Amino acid sequence: MKVIVITSGGMDSTVLAHWHRSQGDTVSALAIDYGQRHRQELFFAAKQAEKLGVPFTQVDLRSLKQVLRGSSQTDDSVAVPHGHYAEENMKVTVVPNRNMILLSVALAQAISLKFDVVSYAAHAGDHAIYPDCRPEFVDAMNGAAKLCDWQHVEIVRPFIHKTKADIVRIGHAIGVDFAKTYSCYEGTQSHCGRCGTCVERKEAFEHAEVFDPTFYTDARPSSEVLASLAQKS
């Protein structure tokens, strides 16, 4: 298969790109700058593509930020919440219609390069607070993908039945350097260790029983971080 892999520089999409290569697929990595607070991830997306030896495209959509209000990730006036992803306060991290934007750009590149597939790293742990992670959304996007051009491009999610811990195990088995991935929603140089993505990242390594090479400002285990945040609130 010839696959456009939507990469963010985070763990899941990095493992996905490496996994497609391990399957013998032709991979082209695509990252999108939509003005995200955690833009440091883009640096790691480029580094990982370089390491894999695959083409890397970064699309500059920074001006989108002006229409992505109300999300902690694209609106500087909204603080990044700390705690567990599944909590109600994490809804402010939802970027309006992000997946449709990313998939639309990836479909355009797939059509222009005559690639068969767009792949992205949705997984079983994607939370109900993210409406554009629902299977119905992807089904509808696949329907639109069939109609947006004469060339057929399929959207796939190889990790949809995998947990984040499974993804760590897969990445570990195929030699992914997790130290060169970035997840933190704060966008700080070191991972904060307290935001939803940091807590989830810690949990994934803990559950997978794989060494976590990440430097966290708050390096306590996820359960201790969550307990101390619960005490404060």
Q: 3-class SS at 208?
A: helix
* 192 touches Zn ion (CB under 5 A): yes
Residue with tokens 């966008």: 187
Buried b (16+ CB within 10 A) or exposed e, 119-148: bbbbbebbbebbebbeeebbeebeeebeee
- Which residue, 41 or 186, is less far from Zn ion as judged by CB? 186
The DSSP letter of residue 61 is -
By C-alpha distance, which of 204, 212, 223, 113 is closest to 159? Answer: 204
**Binding range to Zn ion, per CB under 5 A, among 36-44, 61-69, 158-166, 190-198:** 190-198
Q: Rounded to an integer, what distance in angstroms lies between the CA atom of residue 222 and that of residue 93?
A: 19
**20 closest CA partner among 117, 87, 89, 110:** 117
Q: Of the candidates 145, 198, 208, 225, which one interacts with Zn ion according to CB under 5 A?
A: 198
Q: How far is the CB of 15 from Zn ion (least distance, A)?
A: 19
Q: Could you say which residues in the range 212-231 bind Zn ion, by CB under 5 A? A: none
Rule CB under 5 A: say whether 199 interacts with Zn ion. no
- Give the shortest CB-194-to-Zn ion separation in angstroms: 6
Residue 184 within binding range of Zn ion, rule CB under 5 A: yes
Is residue 3 a contact residue for Zn ion (CB under 5 A)?
no
Element holding 155 (H helix, E strand)? strand 154-156
Instruction: Out of 195, 204, 225, 226, name the contact with Zn ion by CB under 5 A.
Output: 195
Residue 184 vs 204, nearer CB to Zn ion: 184
The least CB distance from residue 189 to Zn ion, in Å, is 11
Window of 57-65, 129-137, 167-175, 188-196 that interacts with Zn ion by CB under 5 A: 188-196
How near is the Cβ of 141 to Zn ion at its closest, in Å? 29
Among the listed ranges 49-57, 128-136, 164-172, 186-194, the one in contact with Zn ion (CB under 5 A) is 186-194
The side-by-side arrangement of strands in the sheet containing 154-156 is 56-60, 26-33, 2-6, 117-119, 154-156
The angle subtended at Cα 40 by Cα 33 and Cα 18, nearest 5°, is: 80
Of the two residues 167 and 198, which places its CB atom closer to Zn ion in the complex? Answer: 198
In the bound state with Zn ion, the residue whose beta carbon lies nearer, of 92 and 144, is: 92
Positions that interact with Zn ion (CB under 5 A): 184, 186, 192, 195, 198
